[in-house]
């Protein structure tokens, strides 16, 4: 039962007026007025307000300091909701995307893939760096995804990757799955 200031009628004979309820007996056609506990009404209002606040704020979190620093993407935090192709730890490490052809062709291909992804927004598209945000459908959690195209070394062409949730502890593998899905599309 949700508290509402207007009249609500239930099939069991209860009618609610504000924080009062009338129990109506259909056989005797009489009713008795009862006061609903105000704490229940207040607790319900607080719960509804809290859930609404979560949906309105979108669980966005603060934008972290991202980008390339000395040829490296930002390191992952100590939480398991991040993957990085330049990470040292085994749990957060993910293979970079290897490609053949020119860097510009790879960059254009990656931008096309990102543009086709649901709930993705490309924020930065530079010559050697791309940054995008992915937003979850239900709770509107935001994940930051970065791609870095370093200068070729010894004929190896790679795209370094970092994908991390802004808030929370675990992402149940969502960032790793997303990068593997992008990699699969890229290599088609």
* pLDDT tens, position by position, 11-61: 555 555 555 555 555 666 666 555 555 555 566 667 665 555 444 444 455
Q: Do 111 and 147 share a domain, yes or no?
A: yes
Q: Do 100 and 131 share a domain, yes or no?
A: yes
Q: Name the DSSP class of 184.
A: H
Whole-angstrom distance, CA of residue 43 vs CA of residue 1: 12
Residue 63 domain-assigned? Answer: no
- The whole-model pTM stands at 0.66
Q: Do 119 and 37 share a domain, yes or no?
A: no
Q: Do 49 and 27 share a domain, yes or no?
A: yes
Number of compact structural domains in the chain? 2
Percent of the chain with pLDDT over 70: 66
Give the domain extent around 53: 8-57
Whole-angstrom distance, CA of residue 35 vs CA of residue 151: 74
Selection from 108, 117, 104, 111 nearest residue 143 by Cα: 117
Q: Do 48 and 77 share a domain, yes or no?
A: no
pLDDT of residue 21: 53
Q: Do 77 and 166 share a domain, yes or no?
A: yes
Q: Do 152 and 89 share a domain, yes or no?
A: yes
């Amino acid at each position: 039962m949700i508290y509402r200031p207007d009249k609500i009628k239930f099939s069991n004979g209860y009618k609610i007026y504000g924080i009062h309820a009338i129990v109506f007996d259909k056989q005797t056609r009489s009713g008795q007025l009862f006061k609903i506990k105000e704490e229940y009404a207040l607790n319900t209002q607080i719960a509804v307000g809290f859930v609404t606040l979560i949906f309105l704020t979108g669980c966005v979190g603060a934008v972290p300091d991202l980008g390339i620093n000395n040829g490296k993407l930002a390191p992952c935090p100590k939480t398991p909701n991040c993957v990085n192709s330049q990470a040292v730890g085994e749990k957060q490490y993910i293979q970079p995307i290897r490609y053949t052809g020119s860097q510009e062709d790879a960059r254009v291909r990656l931008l096309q893939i990102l543009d086709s992804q649901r709930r993705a927004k490309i924020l930065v598209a530079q010559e050697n760096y791309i940054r995008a945000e992915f937003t979850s459908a239900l709770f509107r959690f935001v994940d930051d995804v970065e791609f870095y195209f370093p200068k070729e070394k010894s004929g190896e062409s790679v795209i370094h990757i970092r994908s991390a949730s802004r808030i929370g502890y675990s992402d149940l593998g969502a960032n790793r799955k997303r990068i593997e899905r992008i990699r699969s599309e890229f290599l088609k």
